[in-house]
């Protein structure tokens, strides 16, 4: 079985390469249709995670949970983050050197 995040990243990469935007809802629906088609053809699940029943579409919690903008913003406000260093120094732009040294992890 595959990791849903790995598969979602492929959709996101295609989106960047084709310059066709992908919204979180569109990603969730594409993941659902991929899973459905694989299940039909192979008669086995593509990944172990189950879809949640939300109002507008089936949702994979692993894809929804880490992509909250507020939580990501909190990460960039860490004193070891390049944004925080530039902001505290009153700089207009982030330093590429600070970006390379940025060790904040998304978990």
* Residue among 69, 74, 76, 72 nearest 24 (CA): 69
Q: What residues are paired with 53 via a beta bridge?
A: 58
From residue 35, give the alpha-carbon distance in Å to each of 11, 26, 50, 106. Answer: 13, 14, 10, 26
- Residue 30's pLDDT is what? 94
The vertex-101 CA angle with 100 and 106, nearest 5°, equals 90
Q: Where are the domains of the chain?
A: 4-67, 69-101
**8-state DSSP, 53:** E
As a whole number, mean pLDDT of residues 86-107 equals 82
> How far is the C-alpha of 47 from the C-alpha of 10, rounded, in Å?
15
Residue with more model confidence, 40 or 71: 40
Q: Is the pLDDT of residue 107 over 60?
A: no
Q: What is the pLDDT of residues 47-88, one digit of tens each?
A: 999 999 988 889 999 888 775 566 667 767 778 788 888 889
pLDDT at 70: 66
pLDDT band at 7, cuts 50/70/90? very high
């Amino acid at each position: 079985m595959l990791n849903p995040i790995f598969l979602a990243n492929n959709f996101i990469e295609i989106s960047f390469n084709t310059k066709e935007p992908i919204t979180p809802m569109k990603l969730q629906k594409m993941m659902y249709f991929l899973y459905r088609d694989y299940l039909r053809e192979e008669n086995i699940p593509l990944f172990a995670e189950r879809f949640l029943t939300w109002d507008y579409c089936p949702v994979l919690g692993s894809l929804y949970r880490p992509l909250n903008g507020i939580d990501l913003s909190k990460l960039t406000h860490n004193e070891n983050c390049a944004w925080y260093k530039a902001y505290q120094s009153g700089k207009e732009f982030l330093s590429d050197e600070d970006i390379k040294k940025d060790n904040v992890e998304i978990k």
